[in-house]
């Protein structure tokens, strides 16, 4: 029986993978296989409708059978659907689309783009496709996964949104113009998730490319946000990124906040970062103390803890899945059953649901084909093997097919009460909803790999390991391989160590009297070498103190970088 992949962060063991033996009868395997094929057919109905009617626009309008740009004119549905193609087993189409995107999508465009959405959908989608490209049968360039065309595209997109982080607090603006940067009249108010949902994609970029700027700005934003929490440990919904003042002080786990908490947990897992997990656990205590009532999570005033909105929002349905990642299964199961009862009441989750009234909230009755409850079902089924989660999957397939299917794809539901439709199919339907549904019924998918299968020796080091499981999904369901990040990070660390060694070798040795004089005379500047003497530093790079006190190094360390060979007398 395969065991789960276990990550130890501090004193907490986090399980990620097939933690429980599969208790599925043989007859259900057949049912799951049939449902898997049904989900594939749903995907291709939506995907082909987009290609036939909407490409190269961002999204499909399924009622009028045409397309529209929504988040920036990136052919967004193609980027979002790319890794889903591979998970469904379609290597040929993955290769075709990956090549098409390289030739047709660029980011030097005069468009105002959401910083948050560009990150999770475009940067996240391209990063995932890059890391999966070898598995999909694409010819990868030397140095992969630390280089590659899709990685360069992801980096280019990320650089376009970097200007948003140039604020006194380090917290980013919500919108940026991809060509000109932040508009001088741009509002400084953005949602909490728009500040705290970058650590996965930006850390992955830094560790794959070796450029620390991305991870640095993401961590600075996280830290600034952490310092704004209230005296009872909660954060609000919208904040002024210049003044750090909370504009909307409703605290909860739903819209505007959700993925901030998600990224603290998943960032801790992917980066093995104890500090991120500690931050989440502190929030978790406050959330339980002030917002949790009968296994529902309400909205409360962030400073007082008094209830401000007794509603359940559909975006909150990710929470049971997140709880499963930190081992809080009992609480996760009870909350999931609450949410599932709402689904069964309407055939989908309304955006807002009044808990006291047991009904939808006015003007928040829509269901835009969101994935969050299905996402939680996938995680909880992996953790428990309970067939109730498969039943949710069956219900979701039936609801989506009967209510939302139209000749040109699947349409969002404008009103879940009477099932009136809206003329939009968001790209996350193919990136998340279909993907999580398929993975729920495909326990043998490579994404669920528990570490028994892996590839060695294809990266910058012969002992790099890839595809061993433990994939971490970003909030748009794009899977990231932590092993690839580790491999490239190690390559960068070795390069920095070599630079330090070469710098140490190029430093002139000082006699003891000169050294003592420098220690006692604080006004004396260290000797400055002519730039031609140093071979380890680029012009303008600041000098570091030598890490090694001994000038002698093994011959393997004294290698040539520009044709020089260092001898023992150097």
**Residue 241 to residue 282: CA distance in whole angstroms:** 23
Strands (E), 426-538: 455-456, 465-466, 472-473, 479-480
Given the residues 58, 215, 351, 481, the one annotated as active site = 351
Instruction: Compute the distance between CA of residue 30 and CA of residue 508 in angstroms, rounded to an integer.
Output: 73
Respond yes or no: is residue 525 known to be catalytic: no
> Does the annotation mark 426 as catalytic?
no
Q: Could you give the dihedral angle defined by the CA atoms of residues 530, 535, 538 and 544, in that order, rounded to the nearest 10 degrees?
A: -80
Q: Is 117 a catalytic residue?
A: yes
Residues sharing a CB contact under 8 Å with residue 382, sequence separation 6 or more, in sequence order: 17, 18, 19, 20, 324, 443, 448
Contact 236, 185 (CB under 8 A): no
The angle that helices 213-226 and 274-290 make with each other, rounded to 10 degrees, is: 30
- What's the token pair of residue 231? 């005296």
Helix H or strand E encompassing 326: none
Active-site residue flag, 351: yes
- Is 475 known as a binding-site position? yes
Q: Which residue has the tokens 């904040």?
A: 239
24 DSSP 8-state letter: -
The pair of structure tokens assigned to 316 is 């909150």
DSSP 345-365: HHTS--SEEETTTTEEPTT--
- Classify 6 as helix, strand or coil: strand
Annotated catalytic residue, options 83, 93, 215, 258: 258
Whether residue 197 contacts residue 250, with contact meaning beta carbons closer than 8 Å, is answered with no
Binding residue numbers: 475
Binding residue numbers for Ca(2+): 475
- Could you list the active site residues? 117, 258, 351, 372
């Amino acid at each position: 029986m395969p065991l789960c992949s276990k990550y130890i962060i501090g004193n907490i063991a986090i399980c990620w993978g097939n933690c429980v033996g599969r208790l599925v009868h043989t007859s259900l395997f057949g049912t799951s296989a049939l449902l898997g094929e049904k989900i594939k057919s749903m995907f291709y109905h939506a995907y082909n409708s987009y290609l036939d009617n909407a490409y190269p626009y961002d999204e499909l309008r399924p009622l009028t059978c045409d397309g529209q740009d929504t988040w920036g004119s990136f052919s967004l549905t193609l980027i979002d659907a790319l890794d889903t193609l591979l998970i469904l087993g379609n290597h040929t189409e993955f290769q075709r689309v990956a090549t098409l995107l390289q030739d047709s999508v660029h980011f030097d465009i005069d468009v105002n783009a959401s910083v948050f959405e560009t990150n999770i959908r475009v940067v996240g989608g391209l990063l995932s496709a890059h890391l999966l490209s070898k598995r999909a049968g694409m010819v990868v360039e030397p140095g992969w996964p630390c280089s590659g065309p899709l990685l360069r595209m992801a980096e280019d997109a990320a650089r376009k949104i970097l200007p948003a982080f140039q604020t006194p607090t380090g917290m980013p603006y919500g919108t940026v113009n991809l060509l000109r940067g932040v508009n001088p009249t741009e509002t400084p108010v953005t949602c909490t998730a728009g500040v705290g949902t970058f650590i996965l994609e930006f850390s992955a970029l830094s560790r794959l490319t070796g450029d620390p700027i991305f991870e640095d700005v993401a961590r600075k934003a996280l830290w600034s946000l952490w310092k704004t929490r209230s005296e009872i440990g909660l954060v609000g919904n919208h904040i002024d990124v210049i003044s750090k003042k909370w504009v909307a002080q409703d605290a909860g786990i739903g819209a505007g906040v959700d993925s901030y908490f998600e990224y603290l947990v998943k960032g801790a897992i992917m980066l093995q970062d104890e500090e991120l997990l500690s931050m989440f656990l502190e929030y978790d205590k406050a959330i339980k103390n002030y917002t949790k009532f009968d296994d529902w999570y309400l909205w409360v005033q962030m400073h007082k803890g008094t209830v401000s909105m007794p509603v359940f929002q559909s975006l909150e349905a990710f929470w049971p899945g997140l709880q499963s990642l930190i081992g809080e299964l009992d609480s996760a199961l009870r909350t999931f059953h609450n949410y599932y009862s709402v689904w069964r009441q309407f055939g989908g989750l309304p955006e807002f649901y009044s808990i006291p009234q047991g009904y939808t909230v006015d003007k928040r009755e829509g269901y835009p084909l969101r994935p969050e409850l299905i996402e939680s079902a996938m995680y909880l089924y992996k953790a428990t093997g309970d067939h109730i989660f498969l039943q949710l999957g069956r219900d979701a397939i039936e609801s989506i097919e009967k209510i939302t299917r139209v000749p040109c794809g699947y349409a969002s539901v404008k009103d879940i009460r009477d099932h009136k439709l809206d003329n939009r199919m968001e790209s996350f339907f193919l990136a998340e909803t279909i993907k999580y549904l398929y993975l729920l019924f495909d326990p043998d998918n490579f994404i669920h790999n528990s570490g028994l299968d892996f590839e060695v020796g294809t990266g910058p080091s012969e002992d790099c390991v890839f595809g061993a499981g433990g994939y971490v999904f970003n909030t748009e369901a794009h899977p990231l391989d932590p092993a690839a990040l580790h491999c490239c990070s190690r390559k960068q660390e070795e390069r920095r160590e070599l630079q330090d060694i070469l710098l140490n070798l190029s430093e002139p040795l000082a006699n003891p009297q000169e050294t003592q004089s420098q220690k006692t005379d604080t006004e004396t500047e260290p000797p400055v070498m002519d730039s031609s003497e140093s071979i380890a530093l680029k012009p303008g790079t600041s000098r570091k103190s030598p890490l090694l006190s001994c000038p002698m190094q093994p011959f393997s360390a004294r290698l040539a970088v520009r044709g020089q060979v260092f001898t023992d007398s150097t």
